[in-house]
Amino acid sequence: MKFDLEARDVAESAAGLWWLFLLTGIAWLVFALILFQWDYTTVYAVSYLFGFVALIAGINEFLTIGVWTTGWKIVHGILGALFVVAGIWALAHPHNAFRTLAELIAFFLLFKGIFDIMVSFVAKETLELWWLQLVIGILEIILAFWVAGSFRRSVILLVAYVGIVALSRGITEIFVAFKLRGIKKELAAA
């Protein structure tokens, strides 16, 4: 019963923040579009790009902690801290960061894909479009293995992967925003 009360409290507070997910989702999509238009040809540019994206992803994780139940708050807090540490490291050591970006991006895509698949099955009862998050999760896992195998060959691939991550993050956050807006309307009616 406590879980039901906690989940309801979280749903009520999260529903009021639906606009935050909409704004961050739109920001991720704009960032992905801008990213695909630029020309990155140096190791330093790619490392700085990754550092910036990791910092923004970490801040984004911290901003959304309030909309999760206790267990997920811990997961998002740890993920946010890891993003911030990776971002700072990439900005402080850009030449060394490039060597390990393949592994970091591959692991990020793997864990993000696993997370999206888990959330899609957990939310299957309440979300009509749960399968969209499932498809995104599967694609992220496939990309993780592709990145791990061929990432070191081209700087352009790194930019493409960062853009794909930003694009998938934007789609996921907009999806969550409109689901939270629907929950807000349901709670207001009740």
Tell me if 187 is assigned to some domain. no
Tell me if 59 is assigned to some domain. yes
How many domains, the chain?
1
The 10s digit of each residue's pLDDT in 46-73 is 778 778 888 888 888 888 787 777 777 8
- List, as one string, the DSSP characters of 29-41: HHHHHHHHHS---
Q: Measure Cα distances from 11 to 19, 30, 74, 132 in Å.
A: 14, 28, 17, 21
Residue 5 pLDDT level (bands cut at 50, 70, 90): low
pLDDT at 182 exceeding the cut of 80: yes
Tell me if 122 is assigned to some domain. yes
Tell me if 31 is assigned to some domain. no
**Structural domain containing residue 100:** 41-182
pLDDT at 21 exceeding the cut of 80: yes
Predicted local distance difference test score (pLDDT) of residue 1: 35
Mean per-residue pLDDT, 128-151: 81
Tell me if 78 is assigned to some domain. yes
pTM beyond 0.75: the answer is no
Tell me if 24 is assigned to some domain. no
Tell me if 18 is assigned to some domain. no
Tell me if 19 is assigned to some domain. no
Beta-carbon contacts of 177 under 8 Å, excluding residues fewer than 6 positions away, are: 18, 19, 20, 21, 22, 25
